[in-house]
Amino acid sequence: MKDTNMPGDPIIAVRGLTKTYEGGFQALKGVDLDIRKGEIFALLGPNGAGKTTLINIICGIVTPSEGTVTVGGYDHQKQYREARKLIGLVPQELHTDAFESVWATTNFSRGLFGKAPDPAHIEKVLKDLSLWDKQKARIMMLSGGMKRRVMIAKALSHEPAILFLDEPTAGVDVELRRDMWAMVRKLRESGVTIILTTHYIEEAEQMADRIGVISKGEIILVEEKADLIEKLGKKELRLSLQEPLSAVPPELAEWKLELGQDGHLLTYTFDSQAERTGVPSLMRRLADLNIGFADIETRQSSLEEIFVNLVHDQNAGQNADQTADASLPDGEKDSRP
C-alpha cells in the first residue's frame, strides 16, 4: 500500500520484504510499509498473518529472505548497531528471567542495548509503570500483568525512539490496559514512534493514528484511522418485512433505504454517533404506511467486521460483496469468536 501524504522521511521503511521459513511456509509475501516518525501505528491481522514475523525481522530476530528494512535511515542488517539502538521491543510472549529482580532485569536491558547505567532513568521507567515498589521482587513472584509491565520496562530502559508492542494487552486486566494506553499516549507525546499489534480492535480505534491490516503475509490496507472511523460510525437497522415490497416507497426516500432479499429486507444505514439517528421517525413513518415487519435488528459495521471482510475477501478473491455479506456475524461485534 502506498501512503499518499508522507510528511518527511519514514522512520521505518520496509521494501519488498519476504520471508519463507525452512519448512517452506511463506510468512511474508513482499511487504512494503512506511512508518511515520512519531505516529502510533496499529497492525491488525489474524493469527498467522505475519505480524510477528514482520516485527521480528525489523528487530533483527528473524532473517528476511528478500527485501530491505531501514530504521531511522540505517539498514537494519548492515548498520544493525545504529538501527537496533533505536528500537525497543515488547514481544507477545512473556519471556522473562524468573530469578532476576525487576530492577536487575531492567538495568540489564539498558546495558545490553549499549547504554551507560542510569539509575534515575530506570527509576522513572519503573515508577511510570507502577513497578517501583516491586523493584526488588523476583520476576517469578509477579502476576502475569506485572510481568507484562516488566517487559515494557525492559523495552523502555534504553530510551528507544521506536517502540514495538506485539499484542501488548493480550490477557491483561482492564486497569492495566488503561494504564498501558495512558503510557503509550505519554510516550507518543515525548516523540516515540509506536507500532502495535492487537486483537482488540477498540484499542486500535482508540489509540492508533493509522491502521494497517495484514493477511496471509500481505499488507492489504493502510489507512488513516479517521477514514476508517467514518466507515465505523455506521450502524444498520434491518427490518424483515411481512409482505415483500417491489420498491422503496417514495415516502421513505429521505432515509435512503435499501431493499434486499427479494423485497423482504429493508436496510437503513445511519450514523450512530449523530444526535438524530432518524430511527424513531422512520418507525413512525413505517407505521403510517402500514408496512409491517416480522423482525428488527440493528448491527454495527465495526472495524472488526471491516477487518474480517477484508481478510475474507482476500481469501475469496473477487466477489467481495456477496462473500462479505455471508461472512458477517449477526448482531453486535461482541460476538467475536
Partner 1 sequence: MNLHSIWAIYRFEMARSVRTLWQSLITPVVSTSLYFVVFGAAIGSRMPPVEGVDYGAFIVPGLIMMTLFTTSIFNASFGIYFPKFTGTIYEVLSAPISFLEIVLAYVGAAATKSVVLGLVILLTASFFVDLDIVHPLWMVAFLVMISAAFSLFGFIIGIWAKGFEQLNMIPMLIVMPLAFLGGAFYSVTMLPAFWQKVALFNPVVYLISGFRWSFYGNGDVPVEISLAAVAIFFGVCLAVTWWIFKTGYRLKS
Residues making contact with partner 1 (CB under 8 A): 21-22, 59-63, 80-85, 87, 89, 91, 93, 95-100, 104, 108-116, 154
Name the residue nearer to partner 1 (CB basis): 59 or 195: 59
What's the first-to-final CA gap in the chain, in angstroms? 29
Q: How far is the CB of 109 from partner 1 (least distance, A)?
A: 6
Name the residue nearer to partner 1 (CB basis): 2 or 136: 136
Q: How far is the CB of 166 from partner 1 (least distance, A)?
A: 10
Category of 64 on φ-ψ map: left (φ > 0), alpha (ψ -120 to 50) or beta: beta
Size of the chain, expressed as the number of residues it contains: 337
Q: How far is the CB of 102 from partner 1 (least distance, A)?
A: 14
Name the residue nearer to partner 1 (CB basis): 26 or 269: 26
Supply the angle between the helices 303-316 and 320-327 in degrees, to the nearest 10.
130
Q: Cell digits for 297? A: 435488528
Strand duo 265-271 + 234-241: pairing: antiparallel
Name the residue nearer to partner 1 (CB basis): 91 or 168: 91
Q: How far is the CB of 159 from partner 1 (least distance, A)?
A: 13
Name the residue nearer to partner 1 (CB basis): 193 or 302: 193
Q: How far is CA 265 from the centre of its chain?
A: 33
Q: How far is the CB of 245 from partner 1 (least distance, A)?
A: 59
Q: Cell digits for 169? A: 494487552
Q: How far is the CB of 136 from partner 1 (least distance, A)?
A: 14
Q: Are 183 and 128 in contact (CB under 8 A)?
A: yes
Distinct helix (H) and strand (E) counts, the chain: 11, 14
Q: Are 308 and 221 in contact (CB under 8 A)?
A: no
Name the residue nearer to partner 1 (CB basis): 92 or 314: 92
Total Cβ atoms within 10 A of residue 243: 11
